[in-house]
């Protein structure tokens, strides 16, 4: 998986591309932790439009990110999940835990 970062004063966006699996753990954790630690961040946006697949470990990574963000009063938003990823998110009912913007 590749990660592309974009930042403005109040929010940060990470574009996820490829497959989000356990092998992505180190890069994902490093990128998200740096953004959570950045002063002024209020929202962390994860653009999932180019994400082809995610496994159960990546779902766990999202849950851990949500927990860390809540402590800092930062909102995590999942943006435009690809159809395959949206199916997975619906099955595990992540819409109850995250704001998911489909468009």
Q: What is the pLDDT of residues 24-79, one digit of tens each?
A: 999 999 999 988 998 888 999 999 999 999 999 999 999 999 999 999 999 999 99
CATH number of this structure's domain 2-101: 3.30.750.24
Interval 72-92 mean pLDDT? 96
Give the predicted TM-score (pTM) of the model: 0.91
DSSP bridge pairs for 53: 19
For residue 101, give the 3-state DSSP assignment: strand
The Cα 103–Cα 93 span in angstroms is: 18
Q: What is the pLDDT of residues 18-39, one digit of tens each?
A: 999 999 999 999 999 988 998 8
**Looking at residue 103, what is its pLDDT?**
78
How many DSSP H helices and E strands does the chain contain? 3, 5
């Amino acid at each position: 998986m590749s990660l592309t970062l974009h930042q403005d004063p109040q929010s940060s966006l990470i574009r996820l591309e490829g497959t989000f699996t356990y092998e992505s753990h180190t890069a994902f954790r490093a990128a998200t932790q740096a953004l959570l630690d950045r002063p002024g961040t209020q929202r962390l946006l994860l653009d999932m439009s180019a994400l082809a697949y995610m496994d159960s470990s990546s779902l766990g990574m999202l849950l851990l990110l949500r927990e860390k963000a809540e402590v800092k009063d930062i909102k995590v938003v999942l943006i435009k999940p690809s159809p395959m990823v949206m199916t997975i998110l619906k099955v595990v009912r992540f819409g109850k835990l995250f704001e998911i913007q489909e468009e």
